[in-house]
Amino acid sequence: MTTRARSVLAAATAALAALAAVVGVGAPTAAAATPKVLVVGMDGLRWDRVAAADAPTLDALAAGGTLGESLLYCSPMAGTWSGAGWSTIATGVWPDKHGVKDNSFAGKRYDQYPDFLTRLEKRDPRYSTLSIVDWAALHRQGTFSDAVDTRITYDGDRDGYAELDEKVTADAERLLRTGNPDASFVYLGHTDEVAHSKGAASAEYLSAIAKQDQQLARILAAVRSRSTYSAENWLVVVTTDHGHTDRGGHGGCGVAERSTFLLGSGAGLAAGARPIDTRLVDVASTVFRHLGVPADAGWKLDGKPLGERSADPFDTLAGQLKPRVDETEIPASVRGWTHTAPSGWSVDRSGMPGGGVTEWRGWSFTNDQFWSRTQSGQWRENNVRARGVFAVADSDEFADRSGGGSFDSTLVSAPYAVSGKSALTLRFVNHYRQEGAQKADVLVSFDGGPDQLVKRYDTDVVSSVEALPVAVPAGAGTVKVKFRYHDASNNWYWAIDDLRVD
């Protein structure tokens, strides 16, 4: 090992040890300690560039915590703009609920979907809340509302983010060291500014990441130096609102622009975990879980806590996903499809022609990284309520190679017990685009009997959580749920995820 390598390793080890203390290692148990949360937002930060930068603080947090990477939506749901991204982070819901599609903030519905700090204040005004930003719009537009106890606002658009990030950092150090906030949001914007001017592939962007990493280290050191720290249980969250192209810029549908992450370190978050089912909406739910605040069903949150894993059987296929075969526009390094169904499930492909694009011959199992790259701008990116691995019947892509004729395939669930029940509800994430004569049928079969149609979709459904009631015949013991997509040629697609039979 070279002298420089030893030096880098020693620095990283020291940073990890220091940061482990900040997020609760050696502190009182969660039951005995006072929970506290710090959310740090770094604008326009690509995690793949963090890996290339001198960022020991972020590296140490990732090594000692849970890191989930996630892709954003596209128009018409919203563009990959800061207004939409920070609104998604703050409210814990997707743009089709909070209403912000771009940096104009037109259509915002913060009255219905307020930020997580405001929700805490409404739940119990005794919570002490703090927000420090230098993108002034986050306060002026009410993304973090005036219900927050302490709001400090700078204007980076006017005065520049490099100097103002220093002021934000100094304020955060002072208030976190000597004050007593229960939940805080601190925003740093210089990475976005540099990416716009120099590009995300530039050396200047890496330098900006290194600078913000140092500022983060100072903020966390302030937490560690609190006189009451030994009686506190801290959760630290770092996240971003969108990515950037290598040349700089965002707002479109490219994977680099859609790239985000959620990094958390604290009690209940596994060290080194890299979950596949994380989404950007999970920040608010993660805050509430740590503070012991039950998420009210009336809030209609789209997120779930970062440390909570999905029980969806499709996600068991993550290790079986394969690289491209016929989808030559997708990078060979991206593994993202399989025809193998999860245990107990099956796929009927007997009605499929022999040609067409291999990946989509009948129902397939895929992920957002793979499927949304097949063709941008056709709403595949807006399947935002699906997580990890999901099921897709895509007649549009299937038809892109000779022999891709009429599509007819059925996805069949494992059996679910229904003994003693008179009714059940089918719940699943549904993302469907209608064209021509194609049909999308949800069917049930009790104890191997004939299929019964529950619902036929004939209009677009954009990333909805469905709840379909079904009557259970007397004496029935099991039910299988079937999703048949048929009479489809070069039409659109159907994606489903997270089936639950209640």
Q: pLDDT for 310-361, tens place per residue? A: 899 999 999 999 999 999 999 999 999 999 999 999 999 999 998 999 999 9
Residue 64 lies in a domain: yes
Final residue before a domain boundary, out of 265, 299, 333: 299
The CATH number given to whatever domain includes residue 487 is: 2.60.120.200
Tally of domains within the chain: 2
Q: What residue ranges in 359-422 does DSSP mark as E strands? A: 364-367, 389-394, 407-412, 416-417
DSSP string across 293-362: -PPPGGG------TTPPP--GGGGGGGG-B--SS-TTS-TT---EE-PPPTT-EEE-TTS-S-S-GGGSS
Query: Is the domain of 111 the same as that of 229?
Result: yes
Q: Would you state the pLDDT for residue 404?
A: 79
CA distance 109 to 52: 38
pLDDT at 1: 42
The enclosing domain of 290 has a CATH number of 3.40.720.10
Residue 10 forms part of a structural domain:
no
What pLDDT score was predicted for residue 310?
A: 87
Residue 306 lies in a domain: no
CA of residue 330 relative to chain centroid, distance = 21
Pull the structure tokens for residue 161: 């983010």
In one letter, which amino acid is 80? T
Buried b (16+ CB within 10 A) or exposed e, 86-113: bbbbbbbbbbbbbbbbbbebeebebeeb
How many CB atoms are located within 10 Å of the residue 283 CB? 25
AA identity, residue 498: D
The alpha-helical segments, DSSP class H, found in 225-281 are: 255-258
> Nearest CA to 389 among 370, 373, 376, 362?
370
336 within domain boundaries: yes
Do 320 and 381 share a domain, yes or no? yes
In contact, 1 and 198? CB cutoff 8 Å: no
Domain boundary among 267, 299, 331: 299
Within this chain, do residues 66 and 104 fall inside the same structural domain, yes or no?
Answer: yes
Q: Is residue 3 part of a domain?
A: no
Tokens of 397: 């892509």
Q: Is residue 305 part of a domain?
A: no
Q: Rounded to the nearest 5 degrees, what angle is found at the Cα of 367, between the Cα atoms of 201 and 275?
A: 75
**Residue after which a domain boundary falls, among 299, 321, 341:** 299
372 plus 445 within the same structural domain: yes
Q: Say what the pLDDT of residue 403 is.
A: 82
Instruction: Name the pairing type of β-strands 493-501 and 423-433.
Output: antiparallel
What are the tokens at 158? 């006017």
116 with 213, same domain?
yes
Q: How far apart are CA 317 and CA 324, in angstroms?
A: 16
Euclidean distance between CA atoms 394 and 69, whole angstroms: 25
**C-alpha of 374 from chain center:** 20
**Do 331 and 292 belong together in one domain?**
no
3-22 and 56-64 helices, crossing angle to 10°: 60
Query: Do 225 and 327 fall into the same domain?
Result: no
Residues 394 and 457 in one domain: yes
Which of the residues in the chain have pLDDT under 50? Answer: 1-18, 20-29
Which helix (H) or strand (E) segment is 487 a member of?
Answer: strand 478-488
DSSP state of 146: T
Helix (H) or strand (E) holding 7: helix 3-22
Quote the pLDDT of residue 421: 96
Integer-rounded Cα Rg, in Å, for the chain is: 24
Give the tokens for residue 105: 């903030």
State pTM to two decimals: 0.93
Model pLDDT, residue 8: 41
Farthest CA pair distance, the chain:
75
Q: Residue 12 domain-assigned?
A: no
Instruction: Answer yes or no: are the C-beta atoms of 54 and 210 closer than 8 Å.
Output: yes
Contact 266, 26 (CB under 8 A): no
Kindly report the backbone phi and psi dihedral angles of residue 327, in degrees, each rounded to the nearest multiple of 5, phi listed first. Answer: -80, 75
Residues 147 and 190 in one domain: yes
144 and 283 both lie in a single domain: yes
Closest CA to 168 of 211, 203, 121: 211
> b/e for 416-453, b at 16 or more Cβ within 10 A?
bebeeeeebebebbbbbbbeeebbbbbbbbbeeeeeee
Whether residue 274 sits in one domain with residue 193: yes
Contacts of 68 by beta carbon, 8 Å cutoff, 6+ apart: 261, 262, 263, 274, 275, 276, 277, 278, 279, 282, 306
Q: Which domain holds residue 427?
A: 313-501
Tell me, what's the pLDDT at 19?
Answer: 52
Query: Whole-angstrom Cα distance, residue 56 to residue 197?
Result: 25
In a domain, 236, yes or no: yes
**494, 444: one domain:** yes
Q: What sign does the dihedral 265-270-275-280 (CA atoms) show?
A: negative
- Which residues, at least 6 apart from 118, have a Cβ–Cβ distance to it below 8 Å? 129, 144, 145, 147, 148
